[in-house]
Structure 1
């Protein structure tokens, strides 16, 4: 029994269950469309969340298979379950196949062709990212941003919610900010410890990344403020107080910027959200404040 539980923990590590938190973006369309109180929409979005998570996990398996030899030589990645031999390459292939089959097969059966199409596109562009585009400076980050937009699309088609251009722009900017912040930390690791976290990280520079992060921070703030003050938004939510939520957006950017400088949790968005109490408070406060304003 103990051995089975241990093996299960290896597979959970292989499919990166902790990374499923990123797929909560599928709930954003229904949240902003006041559908959070709709049981049917909540069920549809929850199904989309798990289906997207299965597809994302299949990509993690594929990535570890492709990068196996690189990971074996890496200071920290050599401890991954596949690189360390705790899971065999055949087991990883089977796991990838099962996750992709669950995600794509069930999406067509449970939610129809539209969600199946979004998940298929996500799967294909991430295969291309793993094989080609993650080696190309800047373009690698663009593919990450596209993956977050596809999470939004998945949530939109699952709940029959039309996405506004505001939410697409802001999620794209946020995804770019988080990805470039992670690249910055990887550059610092490379400069200080001579550890090549990814093959293209030596092509980035701190000066370039700091400039990009500054521009993205300002862009996120300006677009969010423009969104909260727009007549369209005020009419949609029947409120003049949406702008108050911008306080937490700005605080979140400041906090993340501080963590970038301190290099806490290696600027991993998932680890920060799971471990940093201040960031948890900021995100929770933003959700609650938005909920109070638009749902009450």
Structure 2
């Protein structure tokens, strides 16, 4: 009596991801217009859609995240001398190399031509090949019910409801862990990055406006901007799946690791974008315009601009500067042109620091995955960072002579003193980036760096003293 083969579904079962959606997002990164055109043209024809997307972007199937419990099941079956077959609704051009990489059976069942191998179509193909009850099958979704019914043993991955229904039918069921958690999804929002949106308070600090109403509007603006930023982080992670999987740390991100399905990330993007734009519309038309422009520029950055050397750093600086503009738009506070001229080169320098850190911490001399920089660019990045530091300090010095500064600050020379810890902080950030002694994101690092926070507070305290704010806050004025 021959040993029954073990048949594994691929998307969501053997893999902790879905190759159709992997292909879609890889295509958006490589050729967005062709990908969108194919998606709209073949939206109602899954087989044609999978064929078109597979032709646009070949997948690195060796990088796709595998479910460890299902891999262990497959290894045990192989040790027992059983055939382990992949049967998938994904395109055969992707399933075949996946089977080869994991040394599974050369026999592969997958979508090809006009046949979409899913549900009843997959069940019929397996029964024709092995007969009713002639195979064990592992799947993960209700669409697999038609195949489980024809299998001898039903392996159910992360679908308790289907497992219960199969037991009620008298099937032999074995459950394997699967699925995703809300905690992993929230992690994909990168909530630690929301600290960057404290920049929306900068116009309040510059104008010395700390009224409850102004602070409340700024807080609402931060919520909107945080939702907008998280929605773009989701898109960025989905576009960067392959590059993240090649990265020593980013490979653990929720989508790259398969902890959260791509489809869930797409739904979350829609929800967060709607929240961001809806709240922005309630706040002010100008703020809505800033948020919409921020999201469009961020999308352009994710799709194309981040792969362009030097352009990516300028765009990063612009995105940070937009947060300051957003704070002014949300609260109705006037922002001096000198403040923006000061802020932009600061973030230009920090953008260089980000790339310097990545290059210093890189494990090889190859160019950064998904970026255009290599280690030979480090001296140029250091020079641009230095220019950014000098430009920001000059802009701040010139601001001290404006009518607004003369009106706000009673002691002008103290503004110049405040530049000393400010300069120290920026030079220190560049130095730490050069030696790779900070996190990959300099803004997040700055918010956790006690010495750096001390320097920033020192600078702000001197400026508050120059403006007489300490006297007023303490009731001495």
Query: 1:64 aligned to 2:237?
Result: yes
Match of 2:392 in 1: 220
Whole-Å Cα distance in 2 between the matches of residues 271 and 153 of structure 1? 20
Whole-Å Cα distance in 2 between the matches of residues 261 and 133 of structure 1? 24
Query: 1:105 aligned to 2:278?
Result: yes
Any idea what SS the aligned residue of 1:201 has? coil
Query: 1:74 aligned to 2:247?
Result: yes
- Report if the CA contact (8 A) 1:190-1:197 is conserved: no
Whole-Å Cα distance in 2 between the matches of residues 254 and 112 of structure 1? 37
Q: Offset of 1:188 from its aligned partner?
A: 2.7
- Mean alpha-carbon deviation: is it higher for 266-275 or for 98-107? 266-275
Q: Figure out how many residues of one structure are paired with residues of the other and give that number.
A: 289
- The 5-angstrom pairing of residues 11-90 of structure 1 reads 11-36=185-210, 38-90=211-263
Match of 1:136 in 2: 308
Match of 2:292 in 1: 120
Query: 1:273 aligned to 2:446?
Result: yes
Whole-Å Cα distance in 1 between the matches of residues 457 and 182 of structure 2? 31
Whole-Å Cα distance in 2 between the matches of residues 267 and 58 of structure 1? 20
- Report if the CA contact (8 A) 1:189-1:195 is conserved: no
- Mean alpha-carbon deviation: is it higher for 228-237 or for 73-82? 228-237
Q: Which has the higher contact order (CA 8 A, sep 6+)?
A: 1
Query: 1:160 aligned to 2:332?
Result: yes
Q: What TM-score, normalized to structure 1?
A: 0.90
Match of 2:370 in 1: 198
- Report if the CA contact (8 A) 2:308-2:372 is conserved: yes
Q: 2:347 aligns with which of 175, 178, 183?
A: 175
Q: What TM-score, normalized to structure 2?
A: 0.57
Q: Offset of 1:230 from its aligned partner?
A: 4.6
Whole-Å Cα distance in 1 between the matches of residues 382 and 325 of structure 2? 30
Match of 2:458 in 1: 285
Whole-Å Cα distance in 2 between the matches of residues 77 and 193 of structure 1? 18
User: Highest CA radius of gyration, 1 or 2?
Assistant: 2
Any idea what SS the aligned residue of 1:82 has? helix
- Alignment deviations for residues 59-101 of structure 1 (CA, whole Å, 9 cap, x no partner): 0001111112332233321110111111110111111111111
Whole-Å Cα distance in 2 between the matches of residues 146 and 177 of structure 1? 12
Any idea what SS the aligned residue of 1:126 has? helix
Match of 1:3 in 2: none
- Report if the CA contact (8 A) 1:137-1:204 is conserved: no
Match of 1:211 in 2: 383
Q: Offset of 1:217 from its aligned partner?
A: 1.9
Q: 1:244 aligns with which of 417, 434, 446?
A: 417
Q: Could you say what the CA RMSD is over the residues aligned between the two structures, in angstroms?
A: 2.1
- Report if the CA contact (8 A) 2:290-2:326 is conserved: yes
